[in-house]
A and B are shown apart, each in its own frame.
Chain A
Amino acid sequence: GDSVTQMEGPVTLSEEAFLTINCTYTATGYPSLFWYVQYPGEGLQLLLKATKADDKGSNKGFEATYRKETTSFHLEKGSVQVSDSAVYFCALRGSGGSNYKLTFGKGTLLTVNP
C-alpha cells in the first residue's frame, strides 16, 4: 500500500537558518503530494501541494519539488522564523479510483529559536 517516510525530528534551528525536512514516498501510479502544518493545539493546514512530477509547490517561503525519479518531496525554506515552529506532515493522495484518502508521514516537530 501507499506509505510516506518522513525525516524524524525534532528539528531545532535558529531564526534565519535554512530548513530541509526530507520526505520520500511509496505509491503506485501518480500520487499527489502535500505538506501540511499543525500549530500547537490546532488542526491541519495545507501548506503546499504538487500534483505531478517536476511540479514545485510553494507558499509562505516554503518550497517542495515532486521528484518522481527519487520518489521524494522534500520541504525547504531559506530563512525560518520563530512563527514557523510547528509540526510538519508530508502526505500523499493516491491516484487510483476512489482512493482520495490521505496517507501521512509521522510528522516532524520544528522548533525555531530567536
Chain B
Amino acid sequence: AAGVIQSPRHLIKEKRETATLKCYPIPRHDTVYWYQQGPGQDPQFLISFYEKMQSDKGSIPDRFSAQQFSDYHSELNMSSLELGDSALYFCASSLVGVHSYEQYFGPGTRLTVT
C-alpha cells in the first residue's frame, strides 16, 4: 500500500539559510499534519491542513510557513534557520471521517543546521 512520502530524507543547512520540506500524503487523504521531533524528544505538532486550508496551528515559529497544494501535497518552508531547528520533521496524513482520523506518518526529514 502507498505510504506518506517525504523529501528530502536528509538535509544539511547553515544558520540563516532557508529550507523546504515536502510531503506527499497517501492518495485520497485530505489532511496533512507536520510535527517536529527534537533529539530525544516527543513529536510536537506544528501545523495542519484540511482540503488545502490551514485547520490547526501549534508551536510553529513565525519563521516557518506551510501550505497544501491542489494535489494535496504540502510544503514546509523554514527561513532564517537556527541551530535549534535541527530535528526530525514528520509529515502525517489522514482521511477525515474514516478510521477515527487515524494518522499515517512518513519516514521523516532529518534537518541538520550547522
Interface residues of A (CB under 8 A from B): 32, 36, 42-46, 49, 51, 89, 93, 98-107
Contacts and interface: CB of A to CB of B under 8 A. Distances in A.
A51 B50 CA distance: 21
B48 interface: yes
Contacts of B96: 100
Interface residues of B, number: 26
A42 B107 contact: yes
B105 A103 contact: no
A106 B107 contact: no
B68 to A, nearest CB: 14
B101 interface: yes
Interface in B46-71: 48, 50, 55-56, 58
Most buried by A among B43, B56, B106: B43
Interface string B24-48: 0000000101010000011111001
A43 B101 contact: no
Contact of A98 (B35, B50, B102, B105): B50
B102 A104 contact: no
A103 B42 CA distance: 9
B56 A99 contact: yes
B101 A46 contact: no
A32 B103 CA distance: 12
B105 A100 contact: no
Contact of A105 (B42, B45, B58, B102): B42
A98 B47 CA distance: 12
Contact of A43 (B31, B33, B55, B108): B108
B80 to A, nearest CB: 25
B107 A101 contact: no
B42 A106 contact: yes
A49 B100 contact: yes
B94 interface: yes
A102 B103 contact: yes
Contacts of A99: 56
Given A98-B56, A100-B55, A101-B48, A32 B105 contact: no
B56 A93 contact: no
27 contacts: A32-B100, A32-B101, A36-B105, A43-B90, A43-B106, A44-B43, A44-B92, A44-B105, A46-B102, A49-B100, A49-B102, A51-B100, A89-B43, A93-B103, A98-B55, A98-B56, A100-B33, A100-B101, A100-B103, A101-B33, A102-B43, A102-B45, A102-B103, A104-B42, A104-B43, A106-B42, A107-B42
